[in-house]
């Protein structure tokens, strides 16, 4: 059986619902016929209602979720709200949230548990900063981020889990990690996962950080890379579509 590829757009805080709707209309007019690659769009919350409109052709994800189910939590969004909009995936622990919004390995582990226990699939983001890379701490950081993220899950059922390796220094810089570096770190991530009991969950590894139409085909051919998590290059229909076609 061919293992599917997954191409995820993380629109971050770009695009209001009019712009999101326009993008989705344009991309769904293109040939998205099954090429064993799942196309996933993660817009901001104001476009949640568009999920229902387009979800026969695309999959959707949210960029975050609350780990609490307490209705008295101003500004948060619950697992239940996302599920009711046919949201299939949730990004958890993106480095921008870790750096700027106090996301910690502990809160990531609580969100991972909530999403695992729901119908949705988590996209766990991990990655080292430039200082950590220069201090040769990458292995240690990835090990800690993954083990902590999985630590609260009671692996009762087998489901898909996505892990996006996004070196922080490669995000939004135009400078993707090199071939050998991605290969080595994907191998390491695989090894860390293999030493954790996951009840044979289907774990997919994505690469993120300055993926574009020029480097996509080289990166997708690296061992253990099942797809991408894409920021800037996912904002334009043509560049995102060109990447999708290479998977």
User: Can you give the binding site for ligand 13P, defined by CB under 6 A?
Assistant: 10, 94, 166, 171-172, 208-211, 229-233
Q: How far is the CB of 230 from ligand 13P (least distance, A)?
A: 5
The dihedral region occupied by 75, where left means phi > 0, alpha psi between -120 and 50, and beta the remainder, is: left
Under 8 Å between Cβ of 242 and 213 = yes
Nearer Cβ to ligand 13P (84/218): 218
- Closest distance to ligand 13P from the beta carbon of 72 (Å): 30
Cβ proximity to ligand 13P: between 118 and 232 the closer is 232
Minimal distance, residue 118 CB to ligand 13P, in Å: 21
- Whole-angstrom CA distances from 39 to 3, 21, 49, 59, 94 are 14, 16, 18, 6, 19
Shortest Cβ 156–ligand 13P spacing (Å): 29
Please pick, among 38, 103, 166, 181, the residue that the annotation labels catalytic. Answer: 166
Residue with Cβ nearer ligand 13P (68 or 237)? 237
Nearer to ligand 13P, 37 or 233 (CB): 233
Mark whether 94 is an active-site residue: yes
The residue whose Cβ lies closest to ligand 13P is 231
Active-site residue, from 38, 85, 94, 96: 94
* Shortest distance, position 231 Cβ to ligand 13P, whole Å: 2
**CB closer to ligand 13P out of 27 and 229:** 229
DSSP assignments along the chain, one per residue: -PPPEEEEEE-TT---HHHHHHHHHHHHTS----SSEEEEEE--GGGHHHHHHHTTT-EEEES---S---S--TT---HHHHHTTT--EEEE--HHHHHHS---HHHHHHHHHHHHTSSSEEEEEE---HHHHHTT-HHHHHHHHHHHHHTT----S--EEEEEE--GGGTTSS-PPPHHHHHHHHHHHHHHHHTS--TT-EEEEEEESS--TTTHHHHHTSTT--EEEESGGGSSHHHHHHHHHT-
Catalytic residue annotation: 94, 166
């Amino acid at each position: 059986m061919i293992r599917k590829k997954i191409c995820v757009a993380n629109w971050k805080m770009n695009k209001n619902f009019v712009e999101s709707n326009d993008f989705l209309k344009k991309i769904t007019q293109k040939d998205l016929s099954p090429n064993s690659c799942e196309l996933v769009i993660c817009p901001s919350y104001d476009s949640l209602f568009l999920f229902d409109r387009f979800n026969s052709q695309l999959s959707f994800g949210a960029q975050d979720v609350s780990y609490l189910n307490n209705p008295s939590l101003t500004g948060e969004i619950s697992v239940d709200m996302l599920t009711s909009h046919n949201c299939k995936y949730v990004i958890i622990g993106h480095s921008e949230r870790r750096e700027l919004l106090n996301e910690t390995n502990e809160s990531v582990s609580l969100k991972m548990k909530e999403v695992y226990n729901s119908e949705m699939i988590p996209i766990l983001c991990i990655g080292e900063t430039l200082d950590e890379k220069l201090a040769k701490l990458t292995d240690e950081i990835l090990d800690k981020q993954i083990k902590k993220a999985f630590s609260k899950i009671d692996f009762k059922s087998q489901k898909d889990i996505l892990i996006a390796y996004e070196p922080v220094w490669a995000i939004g810089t135009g400078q993707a990690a090199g071939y050998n570096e991605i290969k080595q770190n994907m191998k390491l991530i695989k090894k860390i996962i293999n030493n954790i009991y996951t009840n044979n969950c289907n774990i997919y590894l994505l690469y993120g950080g300055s993926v574009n139409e020029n480097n996509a085909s080289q990166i997708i051919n690296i061992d253990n890379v099942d797809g991408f998590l894409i920021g800037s290059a996912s904002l334009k229909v043509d560049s995102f579509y060109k990447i999708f076609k290479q998977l």
